Amino acid sequence: MTLSRLFGIAILVLTLNMTPSYGTETALVHSAIDPVSREGDWWSERHASVVEQAEKGEAELILIGDSITHGWDGKADLYGKYFGEYKPINMGFGGDRTQHVLWRLDHGEVDGISPKAAMLMIGTNNSNKEDNTAEEIADGIIAIVEKLREKLPETKVLILAIFPRGEGPSTQREKNAKASELASKIADDENVFFLDIGDEFLEDDQTLTKEIMPDLLHLSEKGYAIWGEAVAPKLKEIMGG
Give one DSSP letter per residue of 190-227, joined into a string: SSEEEE--GGGGS-TTS---TTT-TTSSS--HHHHHHH
CA–CA distance, 50 with 30 (Å, rounded to integer) = 27
Helix axes 76-83, 221-239, angle to 10 degrees: 20
Please state, for a pLDDT cut of 90, what percent of the chain lies above it: 86
pLDDT in tens, 123-155: 999 999 999 999 999 999 999 999 999 999 999
The reported pLDDT for the residue numbered 29 is: 87
Q: Which amino acid is at 182?
A: L
Annotated active-site positions, please?
A: 67, 215, 218
Question: Residue 52 sits in which domain range?
Answer: 3-239
The enclosing domain of 89 has a CATH number of 3.40.50.1110
Q: What is the pLDDT of residues 204-233, one digit of tens each?
A: 999 999 999 999 999 999 999 999 999 999
CA distance 147 to 145: 5
pTM of the model: 0.88
| Number of separate domains in the chain | 1
Angle formed by the axes of helices 98-105 and 134-151, nearest 10°: 10
Burial tier of 9 (Cβ tally within 10 Å: 0-12, 13-18, 19+): exposed
Do 123 and 176 meet the contact criterion of CB atoms below 8 Å apart? yes
